[in-house]
Amino acid sequence: MNARFDFSSKTAMVTGAASGIGRACALAFAQAGAWVVLADSNAAAASEVLEEIRRLGGHGGAVPCDVRQADSVGAAVAMAVRMRGSLDFAANAAGVEGTAGALLSETDDLFERVMDVNLRGVWHCMRAQIQQMTQQAGGGAIVNVSSAAGLVGSQRCATYSASKHAVIGLTRSAALQYARQGVRVNAICPAGVATPMAQRIASNVERLASNGGASYPLGRYSTPEEIAASILWLCSDGAGSCVGSVLATDAGFTAA
């Protein structure tokens, strides 16, 4: 069990649980004792992560989930309630990157795809999660994965940056609206993280591909496990006064 947190009586939902930050988050919740709903559009990969969790002695269930579809998100929340009676935590980590390039090179299809997953997906998730959390004793905690690109502009992916700025706006607004009903909503803003998505972005940007995060103040990219640990902390009682907070876990990227 993760010695830092004891979530043994809790249920957590993680979107994007098949890879990257979502996978690390699902593993971290399970290691802290939570029963984890692994929600991902890649059902086979999510099932593999679930098997990894079970080999480590954890528990949970995998469910196919397209965050662009409200019914699909609702089914993932329903699994938590059916299996455990409540949904205590949610980490909304599903996301897609934009294509490296200037604004005039971005297409309508790119805009719709990025906004559909990164923004509409978080909107669908929060609506379903908050609906459940406000109906149960004890409320709950939600952490949305935004990005350092949601705090500053991007020289390479304007639409991606816009989607992540919007996630912060949704987070803060929902936090204000539902805090007194026992639901805490916060956001986390990673920059470069050693994940498949970061590798795909780096492959399109020679400077990033060559330095492996060396230009960051920390001298490296963050690890998925570091981001997951911050998400778990935001869900814990230790972060009980964090409401609408936006936590930069970005290896110092936005410190300048």
User: How far apart (Å, rounded) are the C-alpha atoms in residues 19 and 224?
Assistant: 10
Query: Cα–Cα distance between 16 and 18 in angstroms, integer?
Result: 6
DSSP 8-state secondary structure symbol assigned to residue 18: T
How many Å from the N-terminal Cα to the C-terminal Cα in the chain?
A: 37
* 216 part of the active site: no
Angle between helices 70-84 and 121-133 (to 10 degrees): 30
For helices 121-133 and 158-178, angle between their N-to-C axes, nearest 10 degrees: 10
- Among 160, 178, 216, 221, the one annotated catalytic: 160
Strands 140-145 and 89-92: parallel
Report which residue type is found at 84: R
Q: Show the tokens assigned to 41.
A: 């559009």
Kind plus residue range of the DSSP H or E element containing 70: helix 70-84
- HSE toward the beta carbon, residue 102, CA cutoff 13 A: 1
User: Which residues have a catalytic role annotated?
Assistant: 160
